[in-house]
Amino acid sequence: GDFAGEKVLRGTGGEVHQVANGKRKPLTTAQGAPVSDDQNSLKAGRRGPTLLEDQHFREKIFHFDHERIPERVVHARGFGAHGYFETYESLSDITAADLFLRPGEKTDVFVRFSTVAGNKGSADLARDVRGFAVKFYTKEGNWDIVGNNIPVFFIQDAIKFPDLIHAAKQEPDRGFPQAQTAHDNFWDFISLTPESINMALWIMSDRTIPRSFRFMEGFGVHTFRFVNAEGKSTFVKFHWKPKQGMQSVVWNEAVKLNGADPDFHRRDLWDAIKMGDHPEWELGLQLFDEDFVDKFDFDVLDATKIIPEEEVPVKPVGRMVLNRCVDNFFAETEQVAFHTGNLVPGIDFTNDPLLQGRNFSYLDTQLSRLGSTNFTHLPVNAPRCPFHHFQQDGHMAFHNPVGRANYEPNSWSGEEGGPREDPKNGFASHPEVVEGEKGRIRSETFADHYSQARQFYISQTDVEQGHIASAFTFELSKVQTPEIRARIVAHLRNVDEDLAKQVADGLRLKKMPEPIEAAMPTKTDLKA
Ligand code: HEM
């Protein structure tokens, strides 16, 4: 018969069978055996029970039953795309990293943008930080900048991360809100964690409701190190500056968009790339040395502080273009595994205690999320340069050692002997001198919780300041515990009295709370 323009066979119950021919490939099982009938399970008699020996049916259902993997514990909702990074000029005086050595050098990248708190199916326009994670497939291995669209973070030490995320995500008894920061647990945690106040100002700004991923900045947040071929180290902060400019929506638009099109941001990126309107960002560096570190008011290892661009200008060193959508969302966007620990020779860590904790967390969570130590064998995660090691076996092992040797040192020569260490070109940690008492301690300036929050607030235009005051008022109006509302206002008094007053009035507080006792005085003379 003929069905929607295609020759079909009709089965015993009148069902439609589309049939393979010269143009259409035959359907097979996962083992490659051709399938004769994909509409009827194998039965004992027309009205009889389905038979256990129906291998095709069992394989099909078995595979379907296991399609879901755990979503990311944070940044569950995201959208990815491929592209390239192009180096402007050689940076060999400051880093030995191969991707920065030759002007015009192009390096493949994969980028995943995300929200933080919402579950995988949540709406794109939630008021939230956006993840901005970039994987560079360099000739000396994969390098990831696992960043956000805000240059500071909530906490100074990774030991607080589970608390922050528990407080931000849905409350454990009621299971909501699923993608909102406007709830008691979140603001309770913020109000009891003074180090998070600077970030609280940033997240109440328009940056957390971006117009699209294409109009956002990105930041590596932590201070990293560049190390050149002579072993000289320079501190570096990473910035992504959108060539499209920066744009946000207003809250009223965000609320409507969430209802009308919860996929607004993914659709925007997909459509732009498919139409050939390829978004671009410049990679910028803030570079500084120990002298700057010594005279800077804050600790460069404190992820709740920025280094003002007036003090250390951002130097553009290359551009990134996103020019290709994924072929398959699950294979690429879901299975991609970013990790702050993925570094290449010429780039190194600092002792930022938030970064040090992240370096443990990503591998660990990815084993649980992707189900096997061999997730690096997936195409989106595999290096695109040659790689040779003695890691073997485990679930889904795809690249096992070739030849006899799976250990070293060994006596076997040639191919049989496998790879060898490379003291000259291999990754070497910068030999920083480290000494000190062991203890659960922080550096003193970590205690200045308000100066940079104030600096951020006063650097905003009147309209932007108004949006920050409205956002605090709106969010706190969803908090049902009066003490929590008042505690946030008490913090804001240390940031800016006028802001505190606007929020207190908006919330109709009967009495202005006393300012929270600050661990260090707020600097009011910082340049905006
Ligand atoms: C995921 C950024 C702090 C643990 C992510 C992602 C980004 C990100 C962009 C999503 C990656 C993707 O698209 O797949 C940041 C930034 C931080 C920060 C900028 C602070 C500066 C932390 C800390 C921890 C942590 C302190 C834990 C100690 C995780 C985990 C995931 C994640 C477990 C899920 C990874 C996965 O399942 O693949 N983070 N993060 N993050 N982050 Fe962070």
What is the rounded average pLDDT for all residues in the chain?
A: 96
Query: Distance, CA 73 to ligand 1 centroid (Å)?
Result: 9
Task: Assess whether the C-beta atom of 129 lies below 6 angstroms from ligand 1.
Answer: no
29 pLDDT above the threshold of 70: yes
Answer yes or no: are the C-beta atoms of 144 and 135 closer than 8 Å.
Answer: yes
Which conformational region is residue 376 in: left (phi greater than 0), alpha (psi within -120 to 50 degrees), or beta? alpha
Answer yes or no: are the C-beta atoms of 376 and 338 closer than 8 Å.
Answer: no
Which of 56, 75, 183, 491 does the annotation list as catalytic?
A: 75
Model ipTM value: 0.95
Among candidates 133, 348, 135, which has minimal Cα distance to 236?
Answer: 348
Which residue's CA is minimally distant from atom 38 of ligand 1? 337
pLDDT number for residue 526: 66
Q: Is 75 a catalytic residue?
A: yes
pLDDT number for residue 527: 54
Which conformational region is residue 128 in: left (phi greater than 0), alpha (psi within -120 to 50 degrees), or beta? beta
60 pLDDT above the threshold of 80: yes
36 pLDDT above the threshold of 50: yes
- What would the two tokens of residue 443 be? 């550096």
pLDDT number for residue 524: 84
Task: Assess whether the C-beta atom of 383 lies below 6 angstroms from ligand 1.
Answer: no
Q: What is the mean pLDDT of residues 118-127?
A: 96
Cβ atoms < 10 Å from Cβ of 163: 14
179 pLDDT above the threshold of 90: no
Write down the pTM of the prediction. Answer: 0.96
Distance (Å, whole) CA 468 – CA 200: 10
Per-residue pLDDT tens for 483-525?
999 999 999 999 999 999 999 999 999 999 999 999 999 998 7
- pLDDT band for 410, please (50, 70, 90 cuts): very high
| Test site for ligand 1: of 69, 74, 339, most ligand atoms within 8 A of the Cβ | 74
Which residue's CA is minimally distant from atom 24 of ligand 1? 358
Distance of CA 215 to the CA centre of its chain: 17
pLDDT number for residue 350: 98
pLDDT number for residue 1: 77
528 pLDDT above the threshold of 70: no
Query: Distance, CA 131 to ligand 1 centroid (Å)?
Result: 8
pLDDT number for residue 403: 87
Per-residue pLDDT tens for 287-340?
999 999 999 999 999 999 999 999 999 999 999 999 999 999 999 999 999 999
Distance (Å, whole) CA 139 – CA 85: 13
Q: What is the mean pLDDT of residues 469-494?
A: 98
Instruction: Locate the ligand 1 atom nearest the alpha carbon of residue 222 and give its number.
Output: 21
Task: Assess whether the C-beta atom of 112 lies below 6 angstroms from ligand 1.
Answer: yes
pLDDT number for residue 522: 93
Distance (Å, whole) CA 249 – CA 125: 9
Query: Distance, CA 313 to ligand 1 centroid (Å)?
Result: 27
pLDDT number for residue 487: 98
Q: What percent of the chain shows pLDDT beyond 90?
A: 95
What interhelical angle do 482-495 and 462-477 show, nearest 10?
160
Task: Assess whether the C-beta atom of 359 lies below 6 angstroms from ligand 1.
Answer: no
Q: Is 148 a catalytic residue?
A: yes
pLDDT number for residue 118: 96
> From edge to edge, which strands make up the β-sheet containing 16-18?
2-3, 6-10, 16-18
| Test site for ligand 1: of 130, 146, 266, most ligand atoms within 8 A of the Cβ | 146
Distance of CA 175 to the CA centre of its chain: 24
Per-residue pLDDT tens for 205-224?
999 999 999 999 999 999 99
Q: What is the mean pLDDT of residues 152-171?
A: 98
| SS3 state at 28 | strand
Instruction: Locate the ligand 1 atom nearest the alpha carbon of residue 132 and give its number.
Output: 9
Which residue's CA is minimally distant from atom 9 of ligand 1? 131
What interhelical angle do 184-191 and 161-168 show, nearest 10?
150
pLDDT number for residue 335: 98
